Each structure stands twice: as structure tokens, then as C-alpha cells.
Amino acid sequence: MIKRILFFTAILGLASCSLPTRAPVAPTSWMIAPERTAAPLKTRSDLWLKIGAVSVAPPFDAKSLIYRLGDQRYEKDFYNVYTVIPSEMISNAERKWFNQANIFAATVGQSNSFFPYYTLQLSVNEFYGDYRVKPEAVVSVEFFLTVTNSGKTNPLIGANRYTKRVALKDNTPEALVLGQQQALAEIFQEYEVQLSKYAANLPKPIGQ
């Protein structure tokens, strides 16, 4: 009996060794990087603007693409991800866009060590694909422009919120990423007009 058990165990071992092995499926990575193609705007300030922290509300703060399938149902796509987390991806796009807009003398990122007089912070409240009725990319963003002052006055210069919904040509991840990129570009394009208005009448920063 023991010999028979050992025999069948050996047979099963050989069978398992002969099964084909499958390589793990690597996720597909996507980057959202809207390009500003318009001519630079009129420079409104000879000071620098610093891009502050970009916060992304959960569950949109992770690398996975997010699909909304019901009013309370969201699904993460672990096989289609952003190259970096959305906060870093959007921060880089924001800095590049407003630097090219030329409203301030320069627009720098958080890693810059200079003392910031004006800071633009961004909060992303929605960043997903909505498939409840027809496929749409949904992006909702709030901008907060502040001035560094002595603390005697309100540092907030302006707060503005924008929401864009872009119809997708199909249900593919590529279509969603392109839709999100278009929505983000439209938001940046609208806000740069408002930012230029703010910059034309900026409150004096500390030490100026």
C-alpha cells in the first residue's frame, strides 16, 4: 500500500513538473501629459510662482485606472496603471503648463529651495472613467492661489473649481487616458485666464 502511494505521488510530481509555466502579466503603464500649444500670455509678475502640493482624493490617488460602474460602485484596473501616482503626474503637468503660459517670471516645482512669495496648490476631487450610461472621462480640480505674508491678512488670493466631462470613443483604457488628458488640458486652459487676472493685481508679499 505504501509503495502504491509513493508511486502515485511520484507520477503526480512528474505531471506537475511537465505543466507549462505562464509568465506573470505585466500591467500597461499610461502617462497623462497635456501639451500647451498656444502662444504665451502677457507676463503679469516679475516674481516666481511655486507649484505647491497636489492632493488627490481617494480612491483616485492610486496608480490604477478607476472605472465608475454604478452610483456607489467603483472598480480599480490593476492591469492598466499610471506611470507614476496621479499627484506627481498632475503636478508635473501643471508646472510645465503654467511655466509655458509665462504669467509669472517662472513657475517652479516643490523641490525648488527658493523662498516662495506666491504658491498655487491643487486639489483633485474626481479623476475616473464614468461608464454608467455612456463612457466619459471625469476630472474635477480646485486651485488655491496664496501669498506669503506677515500673517496679518488672509493669504488666500483666490479659489476656483472646474469640472470637465469628455465623451470617450470606446471603452478602452487608452480612450480613458486620452479623455482625462483632454479634460485636464481644458481645465488648465480656463484657469490660466483666471490666473492672469489674479497676477495683474497681486497683493504685496512679505518683504516687498
Give the pLDDT mean for 166-170: 98
Q: What is the tens place of the pLDDT at every residue in 15-71?
A: 444 434 555 678 999 999 999 999 999 998 888 899 998 999 999 999 999 999 999
Q: What is the tens place of the pLDDT at every residue in 42-58?
A: 998 888 899 998 999 99
pTM: 0.85
CATH code, 29-199: 3.40.50.10610
Candidates 6, 7, 114, 4; CA nearest to 51 is 114
